[in-house]
Amino acid sequence: MANTILVGAQWGDEGKGKIIDFLTEHADIVVRSQGGNNAGHTVILGAKKYILHLIPSGILRREKVCVIGNGVVIDPVSLVGEIETLKAQGVKIGKGQFLISDAAHLVFPYHRLLDERREVKKGRNKIGTTKRGIGPAYGDKAARTGLRMCDLMQPALFTEKLRLKVRENNAVLKALGGASVSFKEVNDACLGAAEKLRPFVTNTVVYLHEALKAGRNILFEGAQGTFLDLDHGTYPYVTSSNTTAGGACTGSGVPPHRMDRVIGVMKAYTTRVGEGPFPSEDVLVSDMLHGMGREYGATTGRARRCGWFDAVATRYAAMINGIDDLAVTNLDGLDSLERIKVCTHYKLGRKQLDVPPTDTRQLAECEPVYIELEGWGKPTTEAKRWGELPAKAREYLKAIAELTGAKLAIASVGPGRDQTIVL
Ligand code: IMP
Ligand code: MG
């Protein structure tokens, strides 16, 4: 299947976990290249449900190698927790099967506290972060004051660096009216985690290049989605990494010309968790999906905001990411509707826009322009092949792919591995 980048084409939670799990069958190596444990992928295998935050879902298949690349930010204590939870569920995580970049930056408790305090300070203008400390950790990385996995692997050096960081950040936390952290507690917890992680830590760039030379197939699993991208998303209501296709290169050390294919994952409708403008948001869609028990976040349990499919957004996502193929998920969420709206343009004052405006305040003022399609009004969850989908559902899928401007390759009609239709 060659080297494939998988990205979210909306605001995250597109159902990437399931598509990654499906594509992993054809990959040798699965790589995470950005984000941290703000992500949450749910994978359902038979009767078992796994929730992954940092570890690629490829870990659920024994013969695959999973890599956490340099572009990821890692909370070492929570990563150890995730490894242990998976092991308790019977998942084997052996040396050589799981690799962690020694250049990845670390997330500490003071990052989490800063994340929380800054949100509180912002009041009504809060971003609605996952409070995992992601923004402050990437902030340290950009400010060149962060600590990395290679530091953690050298206990004496790490302790020395951490002491200064805790002192500085406690002063900042105090100024923000927050609690302080105990240097000793953080240091002890991190050094304890370090020994559990040590077998996995390595220069993953070298590993990936050797794998490329050996002709192995790599799948880059994106976290979050295009409109949460630090550069291209609805700034400042974004996450602090590059969630778009280019992030897979910088976050792994695999050069652009070695990438063969970009797959964009999008829901058959739109959701967003956290604050920020969302033109096609619709209370009726939210109520319907929440009423079905759907659209609650895997990481924070928050109810997601829901709305109609927004082709203005996905069209722009196809452009930024160079999406070749589309995977549309959650088609079954629309099964009961008689009519379905699809946003094709925005109206901003008297102007009609076919890409989102850069300015967030303008985006908040955009009015969605809709077309209406007929619903299919029956369950799609049993369909195994394209031909088994109701004709109206096929028309809907074709319409949203065409409006997005990429080829429809996969349709998903439920969380199970067998509820995946390949075109
Ligand atoms: P942060 O990444 O925790 O800083 O959160 C910034 C924004 O990104 C917030 O709106 C979060 O809700 C959103 N976000 C972060 N990770 C995810 C994710 O995995 N899925 C969906 N939204 C996310
Ligand atoms: Mg998620």
| Residues annotated as part of the active site | 13, 41
Mutate to test the pocket of ligand 1, among 224, 242, 302, 304 (most ligand atoms within 8 A of CB): 224
Measured by CA distance, the residue closest to atom 10 of ligand 1 is 274
SS3 356: coil
Averaged pLDDT for residues 108-127: 96
Average pLDDT, the chain: 96
Hey, what amino acid is at 377?
A: G
Query: Which ligand is in closest contact with the Cα of 298?
Result: 2
Check: CB of residue 53 under 8 Å from CB of residue 310.
Answer: no
Tokens 């996905």 belong to 314
* pLDDT at residue 243, as a whole number: 98
Interior angle at CA 115, CA 112 and CA 119, nearest 5: 145
How far does residue 337's CA lie from ligand 2's centre (Å)?
25
How far does residue 191's CA lie from ligand 2's centre (Å)?
29
Check: CB of residue 6 under 8 Å from CB of residue 18.
Answer: no
Pairing of strands 65-68, 29-32: parallel
Measured by CA distance, the residue closest to atom 5 of ligand 1 is 129
User: Roughly what angle, to the nearest 10 degrees, separates helices 183-197 and 76-88?
Assistant: 50
* pLDDT at residue 214, as a whole number: 97
* pLDDT at residue 57, as a whole number: 84
SS3 393: helix
Rounded Cα distance between 282 and 139, Å, is 34
How far does residue 128's CA lie from ligand 1's centre (Å)?
8
Distances, alpha carbon 120 to alpha carbons 115, 117, 133, 204, 302, in Å = 9, 5, 14, 37, 17
Rounded Cα distance between 33 and 41, Å, is 15
Query: Which ligand is in closest contact with the Cα of 38?
Result: 1
Check: CB of residue 270 under 8 Å from CB of residue 13.
Answer: no
Tokens 């949460």 belong to 228
More confident residue, 222 or 62: 222
Cβ(54) to ligand 1 under 6 A? no
Return left, alpha or beta for 301; rule: phi > 0 is left, psi -120 to 50 is alpha, else beta.
left
Cβ(273) to ligand 1 under 6 A? yes
pLDDT, tens only, 301-355? 889 999 999 999 999 999 999 999 999 999 999 999 999 999 999 999 999 999 9
Largest CA distance in the chain: 65
SS3 16: helix
Mutate to test the pocket of ligand 1, among 11, 34, 38 (most ligand atoms within 8 A of CB): 38
Averaged pLDDT for residues 372-385: 97
How far does residue 246's CA lie from ligand 2's centre (Å)?
20
Cβ(133) to ligand 1 under 6 A? no
Averaged pLDDT for residues 25-36: 96
DSSP codes, 323-351: --EEEEE-GGGGTT-SEEEEEEEEEETTE
Residue 298, pLDDT > 80, answer no
* pLDDT at residue 246, as a whole number: 98
Distances, alpha carbon 285 to alpha carbons 15, 18, 119, 313, 412, in Å = 18, 23, 28, 18, 19
pLDDT, tens only, 264-289? 999 999 999 999 999 999 999 999 99
Rounded Cα distance between 242 and 320, Å, is 11
DSSP H/E element including 407 = strand 407-412
Cβ(265) to ligand 1 under 6 A? no
DSSP collapsed to 3 states, 140-173:
HHHHCCCCEHHHHCCHHHHHHHHHHHHHHHHHHH
More confident residue, 376 or 52: 376
Cβ(139) to ligand 1 under 6 A? no
How far does residue 139's CA lie from ligand 2's centre (Å)?
22
Pairing of strands 270-272, 305-307: antiparallel
Measured by CA distance, the residue closest to atom 9 of ligand 1 is 129
Averaged pLDDT for residues 375-401: 97
Mutate to test the pocket of ligand 1, among 129, 227, 235, 296 (most ligand atoms within 8 A of CB): 129
* pLDDT at residue 421, as a whole number: 97
Return the number of other C-beta atoms located less than 10 Å from residue 363's C-beta.
Answer: 22
Return the number of other C-beta atoms located less than 10 Å from residue 261's C-beta.
Answer: 16
Closest CA to 220 of 69, 381, 42, 402: 69
Check: CB of residue 148 under 8 Å from CB of residue 77.
Answer: no
Tokens 């976990």 belong to 17
When pLDDT is cut at 50, 70 and 90, the band that residue 21 belongs to is confident
Distances, alpha carbon 76 to alpha carbons 37, 187, 197, 207, in Å = 10, 11, 8, 21
Closest CA to 47 of 416, 379, 329: 416
Q: pTM value? A: 0.96
Measured by CA distance, the residue closest to atom 21 of ligand 1 is 12
Cβ(104) to ligand 1 under 6 A? no
Give the range among 45-59, 124-138, 142-156 with minimum mean pLDDT.
Answer: 45-59
Query: Which ligand is in closest contact with the Cα of 225?
Result: 1
* pLDDT at residue 1, as a whole number: 61
Return the number of other C-beta atoms located less than 10 Å from residue 256's C-beta.
Answer: 12
Cβ(223) to ligand 1 under 6 A? yes
Radius of gyration of the chain, Cα coordinates, nearest whole angstrom: 21
Closest CA to 240 of 55, 72, 52, 415: 72
Cβ(419) to ligand 1 under 6 A? no
Cβ(135) to ligand 1 under 6 A? yes
Query: Which ligand is in closest contact with the Cα of 239?
Result: 1
Closest CA to 417 of 89, 30, 57: 57
Cβ(368) to ligand 1 under 6 A? no
Measured by CA distance, the residue closest to atom 15 of ligand 1 is 38
Residue 199, pLDDT > 70, answer yes
* pLDDT at residue 41, as a whole number: 81
